[in-house]
Structure 1
Amino acid sequence: MTVNADPPRETEPNTPEPTATTAVADPPQTSPAEPAATAGAVAPARSARWALLRRLHFYAGILIAPFLFVAALTGLAYTLAPQLNQVVYGQELRVDAVRDTKVPLADQVSAARQAHPDGTLSTVSVFDDPEATTQISFSTPELAAEDKVSTVYVDPYSGEVRGTLTTWYGATPLQTWLDSFHRTLNLGDTGRLYSELAASWLWVVALGGLVLWLGRKHAYRGERAARRRAVLPDLKAKGVRRTRGWHASVGVWTIVGLLILSATGLTWSQYAGARFGSLLDAMQGHAPALDAALPTGGHHSSPAPAEPRESDLPSGASLEQVLEAAGPMDGRLDIAIPPDASTAYTVAQDDGLWPVGFDQVAVDPASGDVLQRVEYGDWPFLAKLTKIGIRAHMGELFGLVNQILLAALALGQLCVIVWGYRMWWQRRPTRSDRKAVLGSAPPRGGWRTLPRWFLVVGIPVTLFVGWAMPLLGITLGVFLVVDLLVGAFRWALRTPPPRLTD
């Protein structure tokens, strides 16, 4: 993977020539105004830290970048899901004409049942959008194993059935496919490893590159020029310098968004997500659960019949009365149908557009009285932050603006990765007697000269991060082991065997 020679570099006026092993940025230098003793004491430790960071950033970029590239590409495709839904499923999702009156929800359920005689009625979903159809979902054992349902789309004004789709938590088949493609490459639990690996390393690569770039010595006149070079590429530069400028400056502009995507993506990952869930348990940071069980005594009680009910809806309060009891709510309202006489209706608000709303209400099916209300405003801070972060990750928090920002982040990440590989190619030796396929990695061994305090602090922190994000810890351990073995092998080849004497 690496070679021992480096290519010739283009030079810039008044700019020191970078070292041959610089992958992304050069280490900061001590100021001429500093005393020589201070510079001599600080320079070795600082150079060691920078060499170690450059090597980590180089190998992480080379080996993890393909996973980041796929995640960005599939995420870019998912940002188009709302518009694609309207194009592909406009017949099911939209009504032909908005009218003054709507058909009772019970009649809409009857129309959906005639179109879909199989399964158990599970949810009736209504929207505050006057052009949206009513979504009536039926559950079957086969689909329930995949957390899916059959959703019948009914025109609320005419009662006409517009179509039937197999949905996953309200998502259309196309949106479900795009979501699964982004999370698992449609490979199931095995495919989830790719997305978790990408999310685990994204913040490491991004922060490491930022530190290297901002710590690089910019030999430009004045601090203003140095700040401009930190956020804008030097269009006058050529070769690897020009590529590095674009790679770093676009990375600076996108780093905040990438860190948010990394953090929110890890919250529902397979292994790091489990660690995060344990943290929420310990800090009581989960959203409070709504109790849908009917009370066993008092005037709200509903005795359970000996046999299952014959109709899809329980007798008593109508669905309109249930919605009225739940109170005014924006966005999508999912009415969960009681599976038996001991369970209440639940109305769950799903409004992911800022300001968000996720209130939940339990309603007695017999009397229409509210039994319990869980408001989003009462959620713990961590639960709110997690929910908002996930909605932003999915492109729903700010509507079209959110989609555009996500698309820009995905395109920026794709470009940064391509420029990173281009730098690797441009840094290869090209002289006739020193040709190599690829550029060399920064030198190893920088950790040997690190100060003891840095190792005392850094090793426990690294172990904790590896525990919190297991895939990051495992792959980092593999990198270290392979790097040590390669170094030992090369050292053995360079070291002549001892001579045997009589």
Structure 2
Amino acid sequence: MPEHISTLSVAAKNSKQRVTTGSWFIPLVKRIHFYIGLFVGPFLLLAALSGILYALTPQIESHLYARQLYNDSRGTVLPLQRQVSAAQAFAPSHAVLSAVRPSPVDGENTRVLFDVAGLQPAERLAVFVDPVTAQLQGTLIVYGTSGVLPLRTWLDQFHRSLLLGDLGRNYSELAASWLWVTALGGLILWGARQRRQAKASGKGLRRLHEKFGVLLLIGLLFFSVTGLTWSQWAGGNISMLRQQFGWATPSLSTVLGKEPVDEHAEHCGHEMHPPISLAPINGADYDRALAAARLAGIKAAKIEIKQPTPGRAWAVMEIDRSWPTQVDAVALDPVSMAVVERVSFAQYPLAAKLTRWGIDLHMGVLFGLANELVLVMFAAGLAAMVVTGYVMWWRTRPTRVVRQPQRSPLMLLRKTPIVPLLLIVSLTLLLGFCLPVMGISLLIFLLCDLIRYQLTKGKKRIER
């Protein structure tokens, strides 16, 4: 009998050791998931809420800026020369004409764009002109290659940097860097709970939190990846990687000095030489550039015609980023209007196409209203997950000092088998190098947790 009891005791002890040895991973994931939610949660919440507003701006701006954007005129569209001349007469005297975005459809106004001293980088003054009557419809400051209007510009800057410039961009990079980790970590914890329980895991807020996480997983991973491509530090590393593997987005060169690329160029007798000076640009040149671009295959309704500077060509670019994507571009010699450079979306590397589609999907422009509604749904779900996570933490927070506080991730790693430990350390170092904001924040998390552990270690339990 004693031998039997001894055997059972040894078996129980060995079983306990096996459980302890095999339980390092889930506690580690749980602790990291908790810290991401606790410290990065506010930034994720800001990104989600500002993302909801950003996704809805097309509808808001269509009403807010209706006078500048739309007209009720019906009739023949005037040449760009007339429209540009009207805009130049209205623009400030120090404004420099830089580009024109012709009216894409009936009822929408033409945008004549000017560079104006004192504006922020990538900002331009847009003068809106009725294409039928050449009447001025107002002016707005527009931003970036997308030409976004003031409300969306403000929300974009808030979503990306909290209006704090380059320093503020670290907030969005922090959120994007950890979003995919917390999403996958939550999936692992949900799977572990499902294995332990035959029925539904958790009740109330926990169950709601888990359901949101599982349902929104793909979207959260997508937001994380596409957000990182725009980030300051990780985005730079991603750009270098794309360049290294030939995945970069082709860019249109407007530098003159090359032969025309159209199929009849060899019969035209036009040789391209960089001009010493450039004759003044007038509105009629925009009509010539538009006609030449149409003949060269630029078919999109939404285009931008950018006038040349000395030594450079006209650039006519498709700017329709809704499905199907139209972003072809041609460069035109300023004298002959012959095509000297062409970039076609059909010839983009697959990675560049995926990047283009990913960015446009993230911005809510690829599939119009449906795209915007899906973004709102995912962003609202993320916000709900952050809020429910905080509520769960508050309800279960320690209200007494415990003798054995929750172990630090560093303590948990001490129980990790050598092979998984080496893999974790190697992966952490690699991610810290590729995603610097993640690496720095991880060190801060671990330091805070280690300090907490040391401060609470060994204290006696205090009853509620």
Q: Which bin holds the TM-score, normalised by the shorter protein?
A: 0.7 to 0.9
Deviation at 1:316, TM superposition (A): 9.5
- Alignment partner for residue 148 of structure 2, among 144, 157, 171? 171
2:347 counterpart residue number: 378
Secondary structure of 1:449's aligned partner = coil
Secondary structure of 1:141's aligned partner = coil
Equivalent residue letter for 1:335 = I
Deviation at 1:331, TM superposition (A): 4.5
Secondary structure of 1:72's aligned partner = helix
1:353 counterpart residue number: 322
Deviation at 1:436, TM superposition (A): 5.0
Deviation at 1:311, TM superposition (A): 4.2
In structure 1, how many angstroms separate the alpha carbons of the residues matched to 2:286 and 2:114?
21
Q: Taking structure 1 as reference, are residues 404 and 437 closer, same or farther at Cα in structure 2, changes over 3 Å only? A: farther
Q: Taking structure 1 as reference, are residues 302 and 121 closer, same or farther at Cα in structure 2, changes over 3 Å only? A: farther
2:37 counterpart residue number: 61
Secondary structure of 1:401's aligned partner = helix
Deviation at 1:220, TM superposition (A): 5.9
- Alignment partner for residue 293 of structure 1, among 255, 270, 282? 255
1:232-285 Cα offsets, whole Å, 9 max, x none, are xx7xxxxxx311000000111111111101110110111111111111121121
In structure 2, how many angstroms separate the alpha carbons of the residues matched to 1:74 and 1:126?
31
1:213 counterpart residue number: 190
Secondary structure of 1:247's aligned partner = helix
Q: Taking structure 1 as reference, are residues 105 and 300 closer, same or farther at Cα in structure 2, changes over 3 Å only? A: farther
2:80 counterpart residue number: 105
Structure scoring higher RCO (CA < 8 A, sep ≥ 6) equals 1
- For the 8 Å contact 1:51–1:442, the answer to whether it is kept is no
- Alignment partner for residue 343 of structure 1, among 312, 322, 326? 312
1:122 counterpart residue number: 98
- For the 8 Å contact 1:105–1:320, the answer to whether it is kept is no
Structure with the larger helix share: 2
1:451-491 Cα offsets, whole Å, 9 max, x none, are 11101111011110111111111011111122223323434
Q: Taking structure 1 as reference, are residues 72 and 81 closer, same or farther at Cα in structure 2, changes over 3 Å only? A: same
**How do residues 261-272 of structure 1 correspond to structure 2 at under 5 angstroms?**
261-272=223-234
The two structures have a TM-score, normalised by structure 2, of 0.87
1:475 counterpart residue number: 441
In structure 2, how many angstroms separate the alpha carbons of the residues matched to 1:329 and 1:316?
16
In structure 2, how many angstroms separate the alpha carbons of the residues matched to 1:466 and 1:187?
24
- For the 8 Å contact 2:70–2:108, the answer to whether it is kept is yes
In structure 1, how many angstroms separate the alpha carbons of the residues matched to 2:221 and 2:301?
29
- Stretch deviating more after TM superposition (359-368 or 396-405): 359-368
1:276-311 Cα offsets, whole Å, 9 max, x none, are 1111121121122222123367614367365x5344
In structure 2, how many angstroms separate the alpha carbons of the residues matched to 1:437 and 1:85?
54
**How do residues 192-271 of structure 1 correspond to structure 2 at under 5 angstroms?**
192-217=169-194, 229=200, 241-271=203-233
In structure 1, how many angstroms separate the alpha carbons of the residues matched to 2:286 and 2:113?
21
Q: Extract unaligned runs of 5+ from structure 1.
A: 1-34, 235-240, 430-434, 495-502
2:8 counterpart residue number: none
RMSD: 2.7
Verify: 1:147 aligned to 2:122, yes or no. yes
- Alignment partner for residue 23 of structure 2, among 47, 51, 55? 47
Deviation at 1:38, TM superposition (A): 11
Count the aligned residue pairs: 435
Q: Taking structure 1 as reference, are residues 390 and 275 closer, same or farther at Cα in structure 2, changes over 3 Å only? A: same
1:83 counterpart residue number: 59
- For the 8 Å contact 1:72–1:413, the answer to whether it is kept is yes
- Stretch deviating more after TM superposition (129-138 or 262-271): 129-138
1:342-368 Cα offsets, whole Å, 9 max, x none, are 322111111211121211111223223
Q: Taking structure 1 as reference, are residues 217 and 319 closer, same or farther at Cα in structure 2, changes over 3 Å only? A: closer
- For the 8 Å contact 2:109–2:131, the answer to whether it is kept is yes
- For the 8 Å contact 1:136–1:153, the answer to whether it is kept is yes
Secondary structure of 2:127's aligned partner = strand
Q: Taking structure 1 as reference, are residues 137 and 247 closer, same or farther at Cα in structure 2, changes over 3 Å only? A: same
In structure 1, how many angstroms separate the alpha carbons of the residues matched to 2:232 and 2:377?
27
Q: Extract unaligned runs of 5+ from structure 2.
A: 1-10, 260-268
- Stretch deviating more after TM superposition (57-66 or 318-327): 318-327
In structure 2, how many angstroms separate the alpha carbons of the residues matched to 1:189 and 1:437?
41
Q: Taking structure 1 as reference, are residues 423 and 464 closer, same or farther at Cα in structure 2, changes over 3 Å only? A: same
1:373-392 Cα offsets, whole Å, 9 max, x none, are 11011111221111111111
- For the 8 Å contact 1:345–1:364, the answer to whether it is kept is yes
Verify: 1:365 aligned to 2:334, yes or no. yes
- Alignment partner for residue 300 of structure 2, among 325, 330, 335? 330
1:200-258 Cα offsets, whole Å, 9 max, x none, are 1111111101110112145666xxxx5xx47xxx7xxxxxx311000000111111111
- For the 8 Å contact 1:352–1:397, the answer to whether it is kept is yes
Deviation at 1:129, TM superposition (A): 2.6
- For the 8 Å contact 2:357–2:366, the answer to whether it is kept is yes
Equivalent residue letter for 1:282 = Q
In structure 1, how many angstroms separate the alpha carbons of the residues matched to 2:13 and 2:81?
85
1:17 counterpart residue number: none
In structure 2, how many angstroms separate the alpha carbons of the residues matched to 1:161 and 1:80?
27
- Stretch deviating more after TM superposition (292-301 or 344-353): 292-301
In structure 2, how many angstroms separate the alpha carbons of the residues matched to 1:318 and 1:454?
66
- For the 8 Å contact 2:73–2:133, the answer to whether it is kept is no
In structure 1, how many angstroms separate the alpha carbons of the residues matched to 2:289 and 2:387?
55
Percent identity between the two aligned chains: 37
